[in-house]
Amino acid sequence: MTRPEALRIAQELGFLKRPTPLLPSATEDDNDGWEDTNDCIHEEIFHEEITDFSGDQYASHQKSLRHAEARARRQQKWKALETQLTATYLHLQYSTCNWTKPYSYLSNEVQCKCPSDKLRRRRVDLIDLLSHTRRRRVTFCGCLPDVIRLLHLGYIAGSPQFPRTAFSVRLVQFHHHLWNHLSVSTSGFIDTLMSFLDEQCHSRLTPEQIKGRHQKNVNRNLRRPFTQAIDAYRRILLRELYPDKFIGVLYDIGCHLDVHIAKVNKGAGTWLQKRFQNAVKVSREAQSSLNSLFDMDNPALPGNKYSADFFRGQWASEREAYTSKQTVLLKQQLELGRLLSLQDELEAEWLKPMLTPEQVLARLRSTADLKERIDKQAAKVGTANVLGLENKQKAFLKLWYSKHEVGLKYIAICEEKRPLQQSRTDGHESNLGHKGKTNLLVALRKHVTQLKKVVETYQTRRAEYHVEYPHHQLPENIDYNDLIHIQADHPFWNDSLFTKLEAPWAVDPKTRHGMQQVAYADRATKELRRLGWEARQAMRWAITSHNQIWRTLLSLKSVPNSDPILATTLTSHPTLSCLPPLARQKAATVVINNRFVKMANLQLMWNEGLLEPSWR
C-alpha cells in the first residue's frame, strides 16, 4: 500500500480530516508596495518538517493488526490439533521407544483408505540433529492432518497447515533440555545448527521459490517454524502432565509450578542431609564444651561442679530478672544518663569558639536541636532526679549510657551487613544488585562514622572517670579496631558493673557460656528429631507413590491379579479418544512409565540423603 492510498483510505474512514484550502484574508491588500520574492532558502526542508505522518501511522497500525490476526488464526489451528497431536505423540513414543530406534519408522508411513486421486505429494525440508533432508517428497491426504502425518515420520511440523519445514522429535527434545538448563536464543540455536549441518551434509538447503515472485533464504528464516515446533512440543508435555487443568498460583504470570516442585523434590534429600549434618555438628560441639565445663568447679556452689541443671536454672533466673521491678528502675537510670549526656553536649557546644557567621548559624541550629531533645528527655525522666545526684553518680550514669550507645551502634552495623552476608552464603545468590549494594555501602559508611564517634565518647568518659575515681572498678576499655572483631557473647557487653546484678548468669563468663551450649544442644536435639520425622514422611510418600504407579503400570499391561479399573480410567481419558483401543493402552503406558522412571530416579537421589535422618 502506497502512502497516497493510505491517506485516502484514512480520510474516507474518518481517521483523518480532509485538508481545507486556505482562503485569502479580506483585509489583505496586494497593492501595498511590497514585492514578493522566493528567497526562502530552507523551503523544501520546511515542507518536509510539516508533512503529516498520520497516514503512515494508520498503515503501520493496520499492518500490525493483520499480523496479530494471522498469529491468532495460527494459534487456533494449533489448538484444534492439540489433543490429536498429544495422543499420537504418546502412541508413537511407545512404538519407537521414545524415538531411540533406528530410522526404520521413517519408511512406515500411515496407511489410509483414501483413493489415489485424493492423495497429494508435497516437498518438505526435514531437519534432524545430525543431518537434514532437502525437499523430501511426502504423501499427504485429507483424512489425516499434515502435522499428524509428519509426526508419524518422526518430525514436528513448523506450521499447522501445509508445512514446508519439519524438525525431528529428538532435535526438539534436545533443544528443550538445553533450554531447561541454560539461557539459549532460538535464532542463535537454529543458525548454529544449520551452519554445522551445512558442513556435515552433502546437500544444502538452498533458497526456495515461493509463488514465483521472490526467493526466501531458508537458512536465515527458520526461527519462526522452529519456534512453532518447540511450542507444539511444550503443549504436548503440558497436556501429558496436566491434561485437564493447570496449577493456577503462578499460571497467570506465565510461570508453572511444576518446574519449582521438581527442583524442590530433587533437592529434598540433599537439603535434609545438609541440615542433619549441621545439627549433628552443632550437637557434638555443644556436648564437647559442656563436658569440659562439667569437670570444672562451680564458684556459685562451692564443692560442686557445673551441671546442665544449673545452667538451665540460671537461664530461668535471667528471664525472671528481666521482668522484675528492678529492671524497670535500671532503665530509668539509663534514661537519666542520656539526659545528663545531652546536657553535657549542649554545654560543650556553647563553649566552642565561633569564627565565622556560618559557624555561628551551625551552632544555633545544633543547640536548638539539643534543647528540644533535652526537653523531651526531661519530660520522660523528670528533673527532680537530676538535682539529687552527686557528681560521682552523674559520671557513672554518663559512662553507662555511652557504653550503651556503643552497643546500639554496633547492632545497627550488624543489621546493615546482614543482607550482604546472606548474599555471600553458600547456596545463595546475591539479589541486591549494583544499586542495592551501593545504597548498602553508603549506609554502612554512615553507621561506621557514628560508631567511631560514640566509641571516642566512651573512651573519653572512661578516662575522665578513672582520673576522678581511680580506685573504682571500670568496664573494659576498647577501641574501634578491636570492637568490630568481637562477637555478641564477648565479655565487653556484660553490664553487670552498672546493673549491680551479682547472679552467676550476670557475672560468671563460664556460666553464660554453659547456658549457651545447653541451648545449642537442646535445639540440635529437637532439630534432629524433626528431620527424622520429615525424612520418614518423605520416604512414606515415595514408597506409596511408587507402589501406586507400579500397580497402574501392571494393570495397563494386563498382568494377572492387577486392578483393571486403573487401566480403564486412563484409557478413557478424552485426550486419547482419537486413538484405537490398543493405541490408547500404549499411549497410557507411556505416560505411566514416564512417571515411574521419574519416581525411581527421585528415590535413587533421595537414597543417600534420607538414610541418616530417618534413623532419628
Helix axes 509-556, 581-614, angle to 10 degrees: 160
Which cell goes with 233?
A: 512440543
Q: Which residue has the higher pLDDT, 436 or 601?
A: 601
Phi, psi at 14, each rounded to 5°: 90, 5
Residue with grid cell 521482668, as numbered in its chain: 323
Q: What is the pLDDT of residue 523?
A: 93
Q: How confident is the model at residue 266 (pLDDT cuts 50, 70, 90)?
A: low
Q: What is the pLDDT of residue 381?
A: 67
Percent of residues, the chain, with pLDDT higher than 70: 73
Buried/exposed 407-417: b ≥16 CB within 10 Å, e otherwise = eebbebbeebe
pLDDT number for residue 256: 47
- Tell me the backbone φ, ψ of residue 305, rounded to 5 degrees: -100, 165
The torsion angle over the Cα atoms of residues 159, 164, 168 and 171, rounded to 10 degrees, is: -70
Q: How many CA atoms lie within 13 A of 537 on its CB side?
A: 8
332 contacts: CB under 8 Å, gap ≥ 6: 381, 385
Whether 221 has a pLDDT exceeding 70, the answer reads: yes
Of the two residues 247 and 423, the one the predictor is more confident about is: 423
**Does residue 285 surpass a pLDDT of 90?**
yes
Residue type, position 12, single letter: E
Could you tell me the pLDDT band of residue 14, with boundaries at 50, 70 and 90? low
Confidence of residue 515 (pLDDT cuts 50, 70, 90): very high
Interval 573-594 mean pLDDT: 81
Q: How confident is the model at residue 378 (pLDDT cuts 50, 70, 90)?
A: confident
Q: What is the pLDDT of residue 18?
A: 67
Residue 542 · residue 606 · CB < 8 Å: yes
What is the separation of C-alpha 302 from the centre of its chain, rounded to a whole number of angstroms? Answer: 57
Confidence of residue 312 (pLDDT cuts 50, 70, 90): very high
Question: What does the pLDDT read at residue 307?
Answer: 92
Q: Residue 424: pLDDT above 90?
A: no
Rounded to the nearest integer, the mean pLDDT of the chain is 76
**For residue 422, what pLDDT is reported?**
62
Q: Which of 75-84, 145-154, 565-574 has the least mean pLDDT?
A: 565-574
Nearest partner of 224 among 279, 310, 160, judged by Cα: 160
Three cell numbers, residue 492: 565487653
- Taking the CB of residue 228, how many other CB atoms lie within 10 A of it? 21
How many whole angstroms separate alpha carbon 82 and alpha carbon 145?
Answer: 12
Question: How many other C-beta atoms are found inside a 10 Å radius of the C-beta of residue 614?
Answer: 18
DSSP letter at 17?
A: P
Q: What is the CA radius of gyration of the chain?
A: 41
Dihedral angle over CA of 138, 144, 147, 148, nearest 10:
-100
Residue 328 — pLDDT band, cuts 50, 70, 90? low
* Other C-beta atoms lying within 10 Å of the C-beta of residue 115: 8
Q: Which residue has the cell 556436648?
A: 287
Over 80: is that where the pLDDT of 51 sits? no
Instruction: Please tell me the distance from the alpha carbon of residue 316 to that of residue 297, in angstroms, as a whole number.
Output: 21
For residue 392, the model assigns a pLDDT of 78
Predicted local confidence at residue 500, as pLDDT: 62
pLDDT at 520: 93
Q: Are 77 and 161 in contact (CB under 8 A)?
A: yes
8-15 contacts: CB < 8 A, separation 24 or more? 9/58, 10/54, 10/55, 10/58, 15/54, 15/58
Average pLDDT over residues 299-314: 91
> Bridge partners of 139?
121
Check residues 442 and 106 and name the one with the higher pLDDT: 442
On the question of pLDDT at 218 being above 60, the answer is no
Domain residue extents for the chain: 101-241, 326-389, 391-504, 526-614
φ, ψ at 294 (rounded to 5°): -65, -20
Average pLDDT over residues 544-556: 85
Q: Which of 8-12, 310-314, 487-491, 542-546 has the lowest mean pLDDT?
A: 8-12
Non-local (6+) Cβ contacts of 264 within 8 A are: none
Residue-level pLDDT at 200: 78
Distance CA 468, CA 462 (A): 10
* pLDDT the model gives residue 2: 66
**pLDDT, tens digit, 9 for 90 and up, residues 114-125:** 777 778 888 888
Tell whether the model's pLDDT for residue 180 goes beyond 80. Answer: yes
Taking the C-alpha atoms of residue 616 and residue 614, their distance in angstroms, rounded to an integer, is 5
Q: Say which residue, 352 or 527, is predicted with more confidence.
A: 527
Confidence of residue 171 (pLDDT cuts 50, 70, 90): very high
The dihedral sign for the CA sequence 88, 92, 95, 98: negative
The pLDDT of residue 46: 41
For 345-362, give one letter per residue: b (16+ CB within 10 A) or e: ebeeeeeeeeeeeeeeee
pLDDT, tens only, 200-214: 777 666 555 444 444
Pairs from 145-151 (Cβ < 8 Å, separation ≥ 24): 145/81, 145/84, 147/81, 147/85, 147/232, 148/81, 148/84, 148/85, 148/88, 148/110, 149/109, 149/110, 150/124, 151/85, 151/88, 151/89, 151/92
d(CA 117, CA 105): 25
Least confident of 34-43, 64-73, 312-321, 494-503: 34-43
Res. 521: pLDDT tops 90:
yes
Q: Does residue 387 register a pLDDT over 70? A: no
For residues 319 and 310, give the distance between their C-alpha atoms in angstroms, rounded to a whole number: 15
